[in-house]
A and B are shown apart, each in its own frame.
Chain A
Amino acid sequence: MNAKILEAKNINKFFHDPIRIQVLENVNFSINKGEFVSLTGKSGCGKSTLLYVLSTMDTDYEGSLLIDGQLMPKKNESFLSKIRNEKIGFVFQFHYLLNEFNVLKNVMLPGLKLNKYTAEEVEYRAMEKLKILGIDHLALKKSNHVSGGEKQRVAIARALINDPHIIMGDEPTGNLDKKNSDLVFEIFKQLADEFQQTLLIVTHDPSFAARTHRIIKMEDGKIIA
């Protein structure tokens, strides 16, 4: 259980516009397989920025990032998209479902992109994920015809479709009411406990953070705990 899924070494990041400000300062930490980690801190402390650096979408940083023991290059855009497709699942504050497709197709898209299974297999797997999250009855509905809490669960199913090494969440409960927040948290918890899914969730909700395995606390671009 000690395999390092994600490792950040000496990560520094600067914003250049309008003036040069350091937003991340010597960030060093690692996440092991199966850990449910929350990243907290005050607004503007750099926690989201760090998450996007870790997500490989933001490559404008100094230092090195290892996912699954593999060093992430900063220039090779198509390689990084493959990594994101295969190894990382995302859940954002906003659901980002495609209105043109139904719920099932939304979940299937990253799986079809991965092209590891046939379309039928991807569909079966997508249905499995929807069942785990208890929303399989919505599969054929248009994605803009389901409720906010359901949309977020669809987004989680989409993040799970390729059995990623790690799921990253940026305030995934930020837009949800108490009931739905709890529901989403329970899902994360279930994923971590039952499926040993590694999770890294950015949140400013202390009660959410308190219930995770490990809390990384940030202040002014530094990890303080």
Chain B
Amino acid sequence: MRRKLLIDIAQSLLLARWKQTLVAAVGVTFSITMFIALLSFMSGMNDLLDGLIVNRVPHIRIYNDIKPTIKQPIKLDSNYFNAHHFISSIKSDGTRLSIYNSKAIIEMIAKDKRVLGLSQKIGAQVFFNDGNIDITGTISGINPMEESRLFHFDEYIINGKSQDLTNVNNSIILGKGLSAKLLSNIGDVIQITTSKGARFQLKVVGIYQSGLRDIDNVQSFASLSTVQKIISQPSNYITDIQIKLKDIKQAPMIAKEYQQLFETDAEDIQTANAQFETGSSIRTLISYSVGITLLIVAGFGIYNILNMMIFEKMDTIAILKATGFSGNDVKNVFMYIAISIGIFGGLLGLLLGFGLSTVIDQIPFNTAALPTIHTYPINYNPKFYFIGIVFSFFTTYFAGWFPARKASKIDPVIIIRGK
């Protein structure tokens, strides 16, 4: 009842000066709109750019690196067990790139509950023969089903189907740059030469575009068995195990664990792509600071308008206090005014922000680097809307608090005697 009365008074004061109220609310609306649109767009862009790397890159990659053996044979000699040894001219050891006992490792990783999935991969260097020209390139043996499920392989196939790698014998998917150099299209047969001199003929079943030109110029894909055949290795020959985790943040820890457990090299995504995380966190920081600055400016607008309103309504405040409204009541009246401006303006801002986001979402955005994207990316995360409305509430609360406190301190005697 008492609150209802105060809200009633606040409402009357608001409606009596509805133009001022509207200006204040429009300030909040504008800033929330921009806040939502900016964050949705920025975050959409971030996700897109991160996706370029993060989607395609395994969270953990298990492989055998070319590097010197850590335990040199001398260390294993019991005669020199506690001795320090000096060996000059150590050479890197890369005689065997395949992972030892890969079947058992794969079975074990597949059982790990922290792992979302894994796919096997073989990397091989080959020459693509085009008349008398040999183009250096790599051919990756993959399982197209798993690769699509975990690493969005399908999304980067601009022509053809990834499944054809398994359906068609001796088939290959070429990078876009590579296919342009070889002047080959789907259905054509190309010839490759392995580093050991063997020649193979492969049928092109698809064109791949990653968006990173350097990769598209050299990369190609074939099924695991095709690659094993090309480099004449048995069916347990695997050079990479690519793991996708349920929680990407655990990658460094699990990578270390696997490294010790399987005695291979394991690289986590954070180490491999440190710069991306930095880039996206800084972009997020910038968009939040711009959005919050907008809101604070809107807060000053509300502050000014409430201050003006208090000067205009001195008489009203004086008589309310004379007839028994306490300073707190008067303060609450002005707080209700401020907060209703904030909530009304904020909600409208959310709607308009959503509208603006959908408009941005329709703007064409075609770039050779991003084959799957045709419009500007927008992230419709409800989190932004939540932050927006909470923040508009708090800015208007604080913007209203100081003028409201001033109003509550007005001495009615001074106003009434001043007449």
Contacts and interface: CB of A to CB of B under 8 A. Distances in A.
Interface of A: 48, 52, 55, 57-58, 77-78, 81-86, 90, 92-94, 96-101, 109-110, 112-115, 119, 158, 170
A104 to B, nearest CB: 13
Nearest to B2: A115
Tell me the interface secondary structure of chain B in the complex: helix
A114 B417 CA distance: 25
Given A52-B417, A96-B318, A96-B319, A57 B412 contact: yes
A57 B328 contact: no
Contacts of B322: 55, 57, 84, 90, 92, 96
Contact of B413 (A52, A101, A110): A52
Contact of B324 (A85, A92, A93, A94): A85
Given A77-B327, A86-B324, A110-B323, A92 B316 contact: no
B198 to A, nearest CB: 93
Interface of B: 1-2, 5, 9, 12-13, 15-16, 315-316, 318-329, 411-413, 416-417, 419
Contacts of B413: 52, 57-58
B412 A78 contact: no
A81 to B, nearest CB: 4
Nearest to A49: B417
Given A52-B417, A94-B419, A98-B319, A113 B324 contact: yes
A113 B12 contact: no
Contact of B323 (A78, A84, A115): A84
A94 B416 CA distance: 8
Contacts of A85: 323-325
Contacts of B1: 112, 115, 119
A113 B325 contact: yes
Nearest to A94: B419
Nearest to A99: B16
A82 B320 CA distance: 12
* B16, B315, B322, B412 interface centre (most CB from chain A within 10 Å): B322
Query: Which 5 residue pairs of A and B lie closest in terms of their CB atoms, listed nearest first?
Result: A85-B324, A96-B319, A100-B12, A81-B326, A78-B326
A57 B33 CA distance: 46
A107 to B, nearest CB: 11
Contacts of B416: 52, 92, 94, 96, 170
A112 B5 CA distance: 7
8 contacts: A57-B413, A78-B327, A92-B416, A96-B319, A109-B5, A115-B1, A115-B5, A119-B1
B321 A81 contact: yes
A100 B323 contact: no
B315 A81 contact: no
A170 B326 CA distance: 21
Contacts of B15: 100
A185 to B, nearest CB: 21
A53 B411 CA distance: 13
B236 to A, nearest CB: 84
Contacts of A114: 324
Nearest to A86: B324
